[in-house]
Amino acid sequence: MPNCLFCKIISKEIKSNTIYEDEKVVAFLDINPKAPTHILIVPKKHISTILEMEEKDKELIGHIYWVANNLAINNSINQEGFRVVLNCNKDAGQEVFHIHFHLLGGRKFSWPPG
Ligand code: 5GP
Ligand code: ZN
């Protein structure tokens, strides 16, 4: 998708600290981390918000949670705990309109979220 920041990161037109990649997803460090561990897991397919997810994407979204689990273990945040967060549209604070799952850990989080 032209002019999509995360499509440009996926195609390596824009640099990122990529820590995992497979045929379906890329995971890289958030440029402005909100926790000691803050990784963005992004499908290579451009989907602008989770509302644009199609039925055929169900396996892809499940795969993202599988990758999140593995990255949580590899980054040693699995025992203490972590969050996987997806923001959708304005009130949730979505800024980049290519879906991405925030994997956050390394500190205690409050509940309910702010
Ligand atoms: P959102 O608010 O859309 O859920 O999250 C967007 C996230 O992307 C933010 O946490 C922000 O720090 C991150 N971000 C924005 N621009 C860049 C960038 O150019 N590179 C990286 N690695 N992260 C970015
Ligand atoms: Zn995109």
**Each residue's pLDDT tens digit, 53-92:** 999 999 999 999 999 999 999 999 999 999 999 999 999 9
Could you state, in order of their start, the residue ranges of all structural domains in the chain? 5-105
**Each residue's pLDDT tens digit, 17-45:** 999 999 999 999 999 999 999 999 999 99
Distance 62 CA to ligand 1 centre (A): 22
Grouping H, G, I as helix, E, B as strand and the rest as coil, residue 57 is helix
CATH architecture group of domain 5-105: 2-Layer Sandwich (3.30)
Give every CB contact of residue 67 below 8 A, 6+ residues apart in sequence.
20, 22, 25, 27, 41
Atom of ligand 1 nearest to the CA of 96: 3
- DSSP tag of 1: -
Give the type of residue at 71. Answer: L
Atom of ligand 1 nearest to the CA of 85: 4
Phi and psi, residue 25, nearest 5°: -140, 160
Closest CA to ligand 1's atom 24: 31
